[in-house]
Structure 1
């Protein structure tokens, strides 16, 4: 299967452009709409929690039918349609319904697209990071542009911007050049069942680290923009701080293929986890120091870029053949779903009942526990890690 570099990159660009509008600014929009911190945390948690079910439903359908492209396109088209419910439904529960609806379809896109991309570059998996970096570029352009826009325009215009980006994503998805739009992946798993794969210790170790890492990002994705505003940063400045983090991620993606060749995957995971603990500690304790915040944002290269690229490669190896889509969906569900939802919900409670600083200390401790777990496993079961990964 051959698909052009730019064709593969375009969907990532607009998919993560949507995320670049939602992650930094949706909590600000919710706050301007009258929701308090606990409600914002709950709404973001519910939004994230759709990753528990939606990716697995769509990936099960795609794996069974072989129609990865069709499932991905269906999600891309229905996402902006469902998003219009933001204007049609009122109140807390109305917002819950709207966010669940568009998120359900949005979560049909990425797991299938990861399978399409990895199938297109089969045998050249190290090129994944070069394609995926365009998602980061889309995120950067959106987060920086909207930060500037929202300094001069009411926050109520944010949903309009998001809808426009979603529509562009749908158009690009519909024109994607994928020669074999309906295909079944070669089954290299023999008679091994999906649940037997899940019970392997290496898989359990991997997903625990993934869940704790994404849990630690809860305060960041939910309250970082509000936290920065409380400490005197303009929305333009906050947007550029978000963009800096993703720019660091892009630069990391450019060399990630070399890192994956030079270092064992579990070592890269451990380094990412340790730097994550440092990042959240610095963010929580020194928000008024621009230099510290700039350095902390640069660590996004490790906490997302390095961590995610390593995880994608590992999932591709852990769940081969007919389980490829379900493996990517499970990675999304456990990490961004369970971990992200607990992190967002917990940060809302901590923010409301304790303090913003405590939110980021909670994040630092959470990812620190994951680092200790991986380090302990490395020290006690070195051959286990080396053999299995």
Structure 2
């Protein structure tokens, strides 16, 4: 039963992410927002995800009460999109609130999922998030006649995320336990090279998340075909999530993280070297299974072996990699956009790989 609740949570949480990432930029464009204003709005959530974990280093614990406040805050922030979306300055505040709340919600549930299901079964539950992300991309693309349709989907998905999260945590003895006991002070520095690698990995992804569609269409691949490339990458991600258990049992977590980073560097280099090849584009999208799905599970599992405060480790994982790394990745990709974009991304991924080797030798 918990598998169903966890999977339901992942499904609707990533529907929220899908609507926000895929369609909100288009909605803001429909409402007359300029590109700099859109960029500023979407820089807020990653930055908030980066700052939030620092509040939990001392004195504050991510308890069920705070978790429920975060769920309510996420839904409230989306409800505030309706009256504020026509004003750039007013729209800043609900986006900041949403980013802060999402920075608490996912680590709280994902930590429990990893502990309860184990890293072998975790992927089979997490893949429902990928399914939700892919399905909303298909469904809402056909129903975005007005901007309010997108907000309706966002609000409904947020409410259902809160519903499944409540079902999972209410009267669950795991969540009523005392705060995580730590024999050591939480420190980023003693495994700093691992954190640097996770940060650089997501910086390299800035070229993909923000400019893949533009890059492909500028090199002669149609927008419709590019949408199929996105869907193909998610399908490969889902397949890997389902079948990753043997890999996690056979190989060390550190070697799997290295493997994911290595293939990511190769992925970006192939996009640079063969920008107009549809076959190569599909090949690079197949690598998304390893550069995201396998890397994500292995990296999160590795952090859980290194830290007693697992929820806090997960918060910093999302804050440093997807938060700070996503922010700088978008900024750098925008600055360097051009024919050499993915060569730069490949080099950044290589630096991420090098940091992992320093992690083994020195830490």
**Under TM normalisation by the shorter chain, which class is it?**
0.7 to 0.9
Secondary structure at 2:13 match in 1: helix
- Number of residues paired by the alignment? 360
**CA distance in 1: counterparts of 2:340 and 2:31, whole angstroms:** 25
2:163 counterpart residue number: 171
Taking structure 1 as the reference length, the TM-score comes to 0.82
2:8 counterpart residue number: 10
Farther-moved stretch of structure 1 (267-276 vs 233-242): 233-242
**CA distance in 2: counterparts of 1:335 and 1:360, whole angstroms:** 19
Q: Deviation per CA, 1:244-285: give whole Å up to 9, x if none.
A: 212111111122221122112222122211211222233355
Distance 1:174 1:159, change over 3 A: same
2:305 counterpart residue number: 317
Distance 1:45 1:194, change over 3 A: same
Q: Is 2:278 the partner of 1:290?
A: yes
Secondary structure at 1:18 match in 2: helix
| Offset, 1:375 | 4.5
CA contact (8 A) 1:41 1:222 kept: no
1:96 is aligned, of 74, 92, 103, to: 92
| Offset, 1:47 | 2.1
Distance 1:226 1:96, change over 3 A: farther
Q: Is 2:326 the partner of 1:340?
A: yes
Supply the RMSD in Å over aligned alpha carbons.
2.8
**CA distance in 1: counterparts of 2:30 and 2:346, whole angstroms:** 28
Farther-moved stretch of structure 1 (105-114 vs 289-298): 289-298
Structure 1 residue runs of 5 or longer lacking an equivalent are: none
| Offset, 1:74 | 2.6
1:48 is aligned, of 46, 57, 68, to: 46
Q: Is 2:349 the partner of 1:364?
A: no
Secondary structure at 1:194 match in 2: coil
Distance 1:169 1:325, change over 3 A: same
Distance 1:60 1:20, change over 3 A: farther
**CA distance in 2: counterparts of 1:184 and 1:265, whole angstroms:** 29
**CA distance in 1: counterparts of 2:199 and 2:39, whole angstroms:** 18
Farther-moved stretch of structure 1 (30-39 vs 246-255): 30-39
Matches within 5 A, 1:85-164: 85-89=80-84, 90-121=86-117, 124-150=118-144, 153-154=145-146, 157-164=149-156
Q: Deviation per CA, 1:1-58: give whole Å up to 9, x if none.
A: xx62111211111111211222233333334444444443333222211111224446
**CA distance in 2: counterparts of 1:291 and 1:32, whole angstroms:** 33
CA contact (8 A) 1:217 1:363 kept: yes
